[in-house]
Amino acid sequence: MDYNYKMIIVYDGGRYDGFQRQKGRLTIQETLENCIQKIGKEDVKIIASGRTDAGVHAIGQTVNFHIKKKLKEAEFKQQLNEELPEDLKIIKIEQATGGFHSRFDALSKTYCYTIDLRKRPCVFTRRYAYSVPMELDIEKMKEAVRMLIGVHDFRSFSSEKRKEKDTVRNLQNIDIVLDNEYLKLYFTGEGFLYHMVRILTGTLIEIGLGKVGVQEIPEIFQAKSRYSAGFMAPAHGLMLVEVRYSG
C-alpha cells in the first residue's frame, strides 16, 4: 500500500529550464523530487498538472506523488520548505484519494500574462512582466477575445514542436484587466497546447498595436499554420495561477 499526496507549489521559474526533468538541466521536477527523496528516504515521481516552460512562473501549480509511508503533512511541509531553494516553496500539502492524478483530474487551468505599459519598465517587476511601451488599443483586444474563446482548432496558436496530434481545445475565457500601469491577460481553459498562451498573448498584443486586424482571426484559425498567428510573447511574463478540480 502507498499514500497519494497532493501539493500546491509556488516558484519563480527564472533560473529553471522548465518543470519537466531533463538530463543535465536544472528543473522544478528534479529539484522537488530530490528534496522529497532526501527527507522521505524514498524515491518518488512528481506528477504535475502541466509542464510549464523554461522561465514561466507559478503561484498555483498542483502536483501529486505516491509514497509508501503516511506523512505528517504540516511537519513534512515545513521540512521541505527549509530544504528547498528560496525560489521554490510548498504552499499546501494534503493526502489525496489513491486515484487522484493532478493532470488528468484537472477541470481547468488559469494562466496570467502580465504586460508592463510604462514607457520604461519597472525595475522591480521586469522579471515578471513583458514591457510594451507603445499604446495598446485594449478595446480592440477585447473584441478579439470574443472570437478566440470557445472550442476551436488552435493549431495556428501552438508551437511547431508540439507533441499533441489533437489541436482542438476549449478556451473557456480570457479576461483583460487593466491594473494601474499593468495589463493582465487571464486565460482559462480545460487544457492548452505547447506555447499556446504565449502565442495568443503575442497575437493580442499585435492586435492592440494595430499590426493584426480583428477580422483576421477566422483566417488565422483556418490557416492551421503557426506562421499565420502573432509572435510568441516571452516566458517571463507568464504565471500559472490556479488549477481547478471537482469539489
Q: Which residues pair with 236 in a beta bridge?
A: none
Neighbours of 181 (CB within 10 A): 14
Closest alpha carbon to 21 in 6, 9, 33, 37? 33
Alpha helices per DSSP H over the chain: 28-40, 73-83, 138-148, 196-208, 217-223
Grid cell digits, residue 99: 486515484
CA–CA gap between residue 181 and residue 239 (Å, rounded) = 18
Catalytic residues: 53
Helix (H) or strand (E) holding 196, with range, is: helix 196-208
End-to-end distance of the chain based on CA atoms, in angstroms? Answer: 25
Cell 528547498 sits at which residue? 84
**Contact between 229 and 193 (Cβ < 8 Å):** no
CA–CA gap between residue 112 and residue 184 (Å, rounded) = 6
Residue 226: CA atoms inside 13 Å, Cβ hemisphere, count? 13
Grid cell digits, residue 147: 472570437
